[in-house]
Amino acid sequence: MGITFSERLKQFFRIQPSLSDEFFEELTDLLVEGDFGPAGAYQAAEKLRGVCKKEKITQGDEARLALSRLLEGVLIPPGSPPWSAAQGLAVILLLGVNGVGKTTTAAKLAYHGRLDNRKPLLAAGDTFRAAAVEQLKIHGSRLGVRVVAHKHGGDPAAVVYDALDAALSGGGDLIIADTAGRMHTRSALVEELKKIDRVVEAKAQGARYIKWLVLDATTGRNALAQARTFNDAVPLDGVILTKCDSGAKGGVVFSLAAELGLPVAFTCDGEGYEHMKPFDPRSHALTFSGLA
């Protein structure tokens, strides 16, 4: 693997003799490469130009620090996880396309919830893929967490309904529902997700209900397109970024905040249960800028 994007950004700032017009143009191009998208990259570079002028910054390293501060300001702090905020039932619905890491993330959330003294229940809402229920059951038995499942091809809303029933009768206080990332058609998937959403809204009144989109960090700008699609179908509370260990550039996180108002709740950097941590805007901005 070559040098990371953050290292390139760092070098770019290092070699600047002056913060000329050309510098800000090149910075824009570089941010586009870092998954900012053209409009976001231009805005960030222009904002930085303004800050440098106002604060009389002339050195590359100072400018990089200013960029990091500016980018941190774009990000939305995730708040505390739903299981730690209050007592009572919490319901997490995980959405996202195939292969992004939903099922693995469901298991990680159960693991972390239990560390915080919650009693998780996993709901096997991906009834579309034959192996999906089995995959979640394997996690459930490793973790000692109950998995509510129906058979392959069943109605996922009914699975979630049963998980809610089980929780409300004392079987748990943190439901983590996995869902399918693919159906026969996109509209079928959207209808299915809306139905699950209606079931939770109706049956879990008073519960803390969170909808998180799982995104593979290595898919770059495509992640933003996915977020738009899902957010239109079922308004999201935030995203969980997976595979941050696999060479992601990290710029899309700023677009998720600036363009869709979505915070990142957690980042995952490996397949193990412990490879998930709460997202920290400051450290993301510093790492992105090559300062951490």
Ligand X SMILES: Nc1nc2c(ncn2[C@@H]2O[C@H](COP(=O)(O)OP(=O)(O)O)[C@@H](O)[C@H]2O)c(=O)[nH]1
Q: Could you list the residues that contact Mg ion (CB under 5 A)? A: 102-103, 132
Query: Considering only CA atoms, which of 179, 174, 160 is closest in space to residue 233?
Result: 179
Cα–Cα–Cα angle for 276, 278, 280, rounded to 5 degrees: 130
Task: By CB under 6 A, tell whether 272 contacts ligand X.
Answer: no
Reading phi first (left if > 0) and then psi (alpha if -120 to 50, else beta), residue 220 is in left
Instruction: Specify whether the CB–CB gap between 110 and 143 falls below 8 A.
Output: yes
Q: Which phi and psi angles does 192 have, rounded to 5°?
A: -65, -45
Are residues 226 and 200 in contact, defined by beta-carbon separation less than 8 angstroms? no
The residue from 31, 75, 89, 100 that contacts ligand X (CB under 6 A) is: 100
Contact predicate 116/83, CB 8 Å: yes
| Chain residues 143-202 in contact with ligand X, contact rule CB under 6 A | 181
**What is the footprint of ligand X within residues 250-269 (CB under 6 A)?**
268-269
Among 4, 270, 278, 282, binds ligand X (CB under 6 A): 270
Which of the choices ligand X, Mg ion, none does residue 243 contact, using the CB cut-off of 5 to 8 A by kind? ligand X
Asked if 139 is part of the footprint of ligand X (rule: CB under 6 A), the reply reads no
DSSP states of 54-94 as a string? HTT--SHHHHHHHHHHHHHHHS----S-HHHH-SS-EEEEE
Task: Mark residues 78-97: x for contact with ligand X by CB under 6 A, - for none.
Answer: ------------------x-
Q: How far is the CB of 222 from ligand X (least distance, A)?
A: 14
Q: How far is the CB of 2 from ligand X (least distance, A)?
A: 19
Q: Count CB neighbours of 193 within 10 A.
A: 22
Binding at 64: pick from Mg ion, ligand X, none (beta carbon under 5-8 Å per type): none
Which of 16, 127, 242, 255 is close enough to bind ligand X by CB under 6 A?
242
Taking the complex as a whole, the smallest distance from the CB of residue 136 to ligand X amounts, in Å, to: 9
Which of ligand X, Mg ion, none does residue 242 bind (CB under 5 to 8 Å by kind)? ligand X
Q: Does 278 bind ligand X (CB under 6 A)?
A: no
Quote the CA–CA distance of 261 and 2 in Å, as a whole number. Answer: 32
Q: Does 20 bind ligand X (CB under 6 A)?
A: no
Residues in the chain: 292
Q: What torsion, rounded to 10 degrees, do the Cα atoms 90, 183, 229, 211 define?
A: 0
Cα-based torsion angle of the residue sequence 90, 94, 95, 101 in order, rounded to the nearest 10 degrees: 170
**Among residues 98, 117, 141, 187, which is the contact residue for ligand X, using CB under 6 A?**
98
Residues 6+ apart with CB under 8 A from 66: 48, 51, 52, 55, 57
How far lies 226's CA from each of 95, 171, 222, 239, 262, in Å? Answer: 10, 34, 6, 11, 13
Q: Which is nearer to ligand X, 207 or 268 (CB)?
A: 268
> To the nearest whole angstrom, how small is the minimum distance from the Cβ of residue 202 to Mg ion?
25
Return the number of the residue (72 or 126) whose C-beta is nearest ligand X.
126
Is 101 among the residues that bind ligand X (CB under 6 A)?
A: yes
Of all residues in the shown chain, the one whose CB is closest to Mg ion is 103
Number of residues located near ligand X, criterion CB under 6 A: 18
Q: Note whether 243 binds ligand X by CB under 6 A.
A: yes
- Please report, as ranges, the residues that interact with ligand X according to CB under 6 A: 96, 98-104, 181, 242-243, 245-246, 268-271, 275
